Amino acid sequence: MRKALALILALALGMSVCAMAMADAEFSYEGTVVAGETVPVTVPYGGKLTGVTVRAGGLVRAGDVLGEIRATPTFAPVEGTITGLYAVEGDSTESISERYGAVLYIEPTHRYTIAATSDKAFNSSENYFIHLGEKVYMSCVSDGSHTGTGIVSALTDSGYNIEVTGGDFYLNEKVEIYRNSEKNKESRIGRGTVGRAKPVAVKGSGSIVKLHVANGDFVERGEALFETADGVLDGLYAPDNKVICPADGVLSSVDKNNGDTVAKGDTMAKLIPTASFQVQFEIPESDLFSIHEGQKASMELYWDNAEGGNHYTGVITAISHISEETKTATDKKVYKAWATFEPDERVRLGMTMILYPGAAEEETEEEKAE
């Protein structure tokens, strides 16, 4: 009888110790590092994209330049002096031109123009055929002391116009016009009156992101005056032409490449911030009520779970309320869950992470005493 009682007590004690050991055992789950969010990286304004060297899957840092926007330059159509600059960086060229007639004006170096007719031309049929762009020679009617050269710049209903390219004259002075430098009468094609060349209006299109000139500057023909981007800039502010990475992370895609035309706000790339990395794992139905949202957890990389390996501390942030079927024999249903943590440079998307719920909980003084 005593032996039977001792055997019963031994079995009871063994079951109690086994239960205590099971209670103290850690739950562990195998999860995958996934993206918590994806954010678009947009271009500041429209233009041609250049300087793109990044690719999908690349690691980037906050402040990295992912690409640059090449604005459209507007060049000086004539040589001269900037005398009317009405715009500042950020302005819409259309708005400024509507108000002032142009973004800026250039007083041409060739200050004179001649309104001419074929009157007084030598009586030859060829002398009545004036050709655009042909070079001509002028001499003042009064005494021939003022001479110069020019090109035919326009044909009008009453005659033609000449842009004076050399020499000096008085305003409203009468001049005779010739086809050759000897100015013989057989080459005379008409007579005209000297006037002032109008300032050349420069308009452009889009919004100004960069000005290269100021009032009073002398410019050569073909020199860059300003650069524009498509559309209207926010707050009449010209931003930098660089596409800047907003945070540390991984590029999930690069949607625009060198040479592509982009508009303001277009997505150049999609970024998964490193700070948004999460571990996604599955909780069997049998463990569901042992784990809760807000619970701390310890984590380690699957390939680095040896003694002394790096460990991470996280928090279980969400547990799905919808079950999913599983093929395991022990549990037919599982629930997806997610935990946040602070990754380091070793962690990559898709890596396997072992998660231990509750392992990172701080013990209270009472728990330590017990």
Q: What is the pLDDT of residue 263?
A: 85
DSSP-assigned beta bridge partners for residue 206:
none
Residue 252 DSSP SS3: strand
Q: What is the pLDDT of residue 19?
A: 38
pLDDT in tens, 333-356: 899 999 999 999 889 999 999 999
pLDDT in tens, 26-83: 579 999 999 999 999 999 888 889 999 999 999 999 999 999 988 889 999 999 999 9
| Distance separating alpha carbons of residues 338 and 193, to the nearest angstrom | 86
Instruction: Report the largest interatomic distance among the alpha carbons of the chain, rounded to a whole angstrom.
Output: 153
* Beta carbons of 276 and 36 less than 8 angstroms apart: yes
* Beta carbons of 340 and 33 less than 8 angstroms apart: no
| Distance separating alpha carbons of residues 304 and 155, to the nearest angstrom | 85
Sign of CA dihedral 233, 236, 237, 238: positive
Tens of pLDDT, residue by residue, the chain (370 residues):
444 444 444 444 444 434 333 333 457 999 999 999 999 999 988 888 999 999 999 999 999 999 998 888 999 999 999 999 999 998 999 999 999 999 999 999 988 999 999 989 999 999 999 999 999 999 999 999 999 999 999 999 999 999 999 999 999 999 999 999 999 999 999 999 999 999 999 999 989 989 999 999 999 999 999 999 887 777 666 677 889 999 999 999 999 999 998 888 899 999 999 999 999 999 998 898 889 999 999 999 988 755 556 789 999 999 999 998 776 566 578 999 999 999 998 899 999 999 999 865 554 455 445 5
Q: What is the pLDDT of residue 264?
A: 83
- Burial letters for 51-73: b for 16+ Cβ neighbours within 10 Å, e otherwise? ebebeeeeebeeeebbbbbbbbe
pLDDT in tens, 275-302: 999 999 999 988 988 899 999 999 999 8
| Distance separating alpha carbons of residues 312 and 291, to the nearest angstrom | 18
Rounded to a whole number of angstroms, the CA Rg of the chain reads: 41
* Beta carbons of 344 and 310 less than 8 angstroms apart: yes
Q: What is the pLDDT of residue 238?
A: 65
* Strands of 242-244's sheet in order across: 242-244, 65-70, 47-50, 261-262
Q: What is the pLDDT of residue 358?
A: 82
Q: What is the pLDDT of residue 213?
A: 96
Q: What is the pLDDT of residue 4?
A: 46
Taken in order of first residue, the domains within the chain and their CATH numbers are 26-35+275-369 (2.40.30.170), 39-69+240-269 (2.40.50.100), 72-107+200-234 (2.40.50.100), 111-196 (2.40.30.10)
